[in-house]
Amino acid sequence: MSEKHCLIYAENGAACIYDLNSGNGTFIKRGRFDKGFMLNGSSCVLEDNDEIILGQSCLKIKIFKVEADLFDQR
């Protein structure tokens, strides 16, 4: 894993990931039987239950939808 490997950020209500030109890329796996795909200096929108593989580490993504007015209640 690189010191600065990837960036996870929010854009237009979606969770996104951008590979920071890491040496080995950032691998995204979707679903149980999906072979996944590699990001090399590019970005994609993350989906619920995606797995991000960075070297020997695996991060599972959980996406929660929050109603905007939930925070406006006082």
CA dist list (Å): 64 to 14, 32, 61: 10, 20, 10
Q: Shortest CA distance to 28 belongs to which of 15, 46, 5, 10? A: 46
Q: Which pLDDT does position 41 carry in this prediction? A: 75
Cβ distance 44 to 16 under 8 Å?
yes
Q: Which pLDDT does position 57 carry in this prediction? A: 87
Q: Which pLDDT does position 48 carry in this prediction? A: 92
Q: Which pLDDT does position 40 carry in this prediction? A: 77
Rounded to whole angstroms, the Cα distance separating 16 from 45 reads 4
The amino acid occupying position 28 is: I
Q: Which pLDDT does position 61 carry in this prediction? A: 92
Domain ranges of the chain: 6-70
Q: Which pLDDT does position 27 carry in this prediction? A: 86
CATH topology of domain 6-70: Tumour Suppressor Smad4 (2.60.200)
Q: What is the mean pLDDT of each run of 10 residues along the chain (74 residues)?
A: 82 88 83 70 88 88 74 58
Cβ distance 64 to 55 under 8 Å?
no
